Structures are given as C-alpha cells and as structure tokens.
Amino acid sequence: MDKEFDIQAYMTGGVERIVADAIRATLKNPKESIFMAQFAAASKAASKKRAIAEKNGEHIPPFLIASITSSCNLHCAGCYSRCNHATVDSEPVEQMTDEEWFRVFDEADDMGVSFILLAGGEPMMRRGVIEAASKKQNILFPIFTNGTFMDDRYFELFDRSRNLIPIMSIEGEKETTDTRRGEGVYDKLISNMDTLKEKGLIYGASVTVTTQNINEVTSDVFLNKLKDRGCKAVIFVEFVPMTDESKDLAPGEKEREYLKNAIEKRREDMPQMVFVSFPGDEKSSGGCVAAGRGFFHINSHGGAEPCPFSPYSDTNVRSDSLREVINSPLFKVLREGDLLVDDHEGGCVLYEKREQVEALLHKEYA
C-alpha cells in the first residue's frame, strides 16, 4: 500500500470540492444557495470531527451508502442488484424499520458523516425513511431513484427539506432509457425534471455507463438537455457485469480514459453543473475507497458491506453501533491489506476480486 497516500485528506478534499461545486451550481437560486452555504458550514464541522478521530487512531468515512429497501418496481436489464438477489419485487418483512434507519442517521451525524446516499431497490418506496432523513439537516442525502414514485407529496418534501437531493437514473435519450428501464420511464423522468425546475429544486441524474451508450451520455446534445432542464449534477456509474453475457457492456481501459477526459472537459465547459464518476480512476486516487476507507454500504436488512458491488458482511447495525460496524474485522483487514489498492483491470476492484473477499470472510469465521 502507498504509505504516502492520505485517505483522510483525499476524501475531505473531495467533500469540499463537491460542496463548493454545489454552491456554485445554485448561485442563481437564493433558497438553495442559503441551504448549501449552511451545509458547507456543517460539512466543515463534520470534517473536524473526522480529523480528531483520525488523530486518535480511528478513521471515519465521510460517505455512507444506505440501501433502504430491497424492493423495486422495475426490471432494468443487467441490474447488478437483481443479479445478486439484493433486489426483489415484494418487500421482505425483515427489512430495517424507519426508526432503525433514523438511529443510523443519528449516529452518522454524531460521527461526522457528511453524505448518505439513499439507494435500493427503489428508495422512494420507503417514504417514512426519507422523511426521517429530512430531519438530519447536517447530512446531505442524494436519493438514487428510478423516478417513477415521484409525486406531489415528494415535491413538497423536497421543497421543505433541501438536504434531500433526488438523483434520477437515466440511460441517455428516450430509446436507450426505455430499452433498459421499461417503456414510459423516460417520459416520466422528463416530467419530473420539468416540475423540479419549475419549483426551483436542485436535482441530479445518475447514468450507468456502458460500451453502448458512452458516446451518447457524454455528448453535448444529451448533457445540454439535462442542463436546460435544471439538472445540477451528473453521476456516471460504470456498468459492472454480473453475468458472462453482459461482460461486453462493461467499459474497458479505452472507455474509462474517454470518460475521464469527457468529465474533465465538462467541468470546464459547464461550471454550473457537478460531474462525478464512480468508481472513476482508482489508481490515481490511491485505490478503492470502499470498506470504510471513504464509504461503506448498509443493506436493507442492516448488514454492513464493503460496497453494493461486494455484498459480504460480518456485522449488522441492528446489533452493533455504526462505529463498531466501521471497525468490523472484514473492513479492517480490507483497509489494512493490499486488496483495495491492488492492480486490476478496472472498474470495481472488489467485484473483480470477489473470490478473495469471500476467502477473507470465510477465514474469519473458520
């Protein structure tokens, strides 16, 4: 592992850049700008908490991914969550309750976590959890949603609680989006965007990047449409193949370099928007930041996992505190070993090396 790489400084710098970009992106919206300025102050206070913990030998990540439900109403082609059986049609009764999730959010706030990404399944099927999140104003909650459950009640909630940021999944233009997500989804997303813009609400878009749509989703035409509809953030997520049949859709080295250059150009050309890539170029950032280095994942049943693409857990927030979960044996051995910064073909290192992660977990329980 590179001893000179400072993960705390890297992640804190990333948080500060995202917040600064968000403030710049909302300058023409006074209500949104006031909230982002207040959040910037809360983010600095959270960074101080994490820095103090670091000095005391404890690393607190600034990000958390919370899959608040296993249920989803769509069957998107190649969905990693359905392929590993983390997403189903019906809602299991053993999922975390609204109250349990609020306790997690409360502990995260106390520890200095600045961002909690709400995912699923389809997170907007858990209105109670999202309402609980709205009460934690020191934390920004990007909600990764397919957009089909967005209604007047949600628009009103987003207006009251500016720490809730809908991030709607879109695959490109109408044909590309509906082919992967289902007929009519694109039109619903466009309708949502128009309403959000009309109400002066900040929102973003999440794009799954494949070898088939990479040119389309980085084009002037597509991104200018999003910009003109008021979109303030675009998060590019590299497609992770869960079957042999879908491997050809995964971006290779050529596509990742193209995406990296495209994002750098967009940051210059479109300063009113925020552009983020996941996992991005892990090698230049000191390796994968999962397993608590920069973030970790809590599944809908409370299991703490290195990341959504690496669904292995040895601890649960229902029985352990968030601080205990971050320091689970599996997370510690991943952070202290070389696996997260190991050489790999690209994309998600933990998914590519999943057999090694499984071996670590089995060794722990042996």
Q: Pick the range with the lowest mean pLDDT from 60-64, 78-82, 334-338.
A: 78-82
292 vs 16, more confident:
292
39 vs 279, more confident:
39
Residue 3 reports pLDDT greater than 80: no
Helix (H, G, I), strand (E, B) or coil at 183: coil
Structural domains of the chain, with CATH: 7-365 (3.20.20.70)
Residue 281 reports pLDDT greater than 50: no
Both structure tokens of 256? 């990742």
20 vs 201, more confident:
201
Integer Cα distance of 319 and 146 in angstroms = 31
112: left (phi over 0), alpha (psi -120 to 50) or beta: left
349 vs 147, more confident:
147
Amino acid sitting at position 104? V
Element at 207 (helix H, strand E): strand 204-209
pLDDT tens by residue, 98-127: 999 999 999 999 999 999 999 999 999 999
116 vs 276, more confident:
116
Integer Cα distance of 82 and 146 in angstroms = 15
Q: What is the mean pLDDT of residues 140-148?
A: 95
Residue 141 reports pLDDT greater than 50: yes
Q: Model pTM greater than 0.75?
A: yes
Task: Tell me which residue of 190, 196, 129 sits closest to 165, measured CA to CA.
Answer: 196
Half-sphere exposure of 28 (CA within 13 A, CB side): 9
pLDDT tens by residue, 201-255: 889 999 999 999 999 999 999 999 999 999 988 999 988 776 777 788 889 889 9
Both structure tokens of 351? 């998914």
- Dihedral sign for Cα 233, 9, 66, 351, please: positive
Backbone phi, then psi, for 229, in 5-degree steps? -90, 5
Note the pLDDT of residue 294: 84
Integer Cα distance of 171 and 152 in angstroms = 24
Check if the beta carbon of residue 301 is closer than 8 Å to that of residue 316.
yes
- Orientation angle between helical segments 127-134 and 152-160, nearest 10 degrees: 20
Q: Residue length, the chain?
A: 366
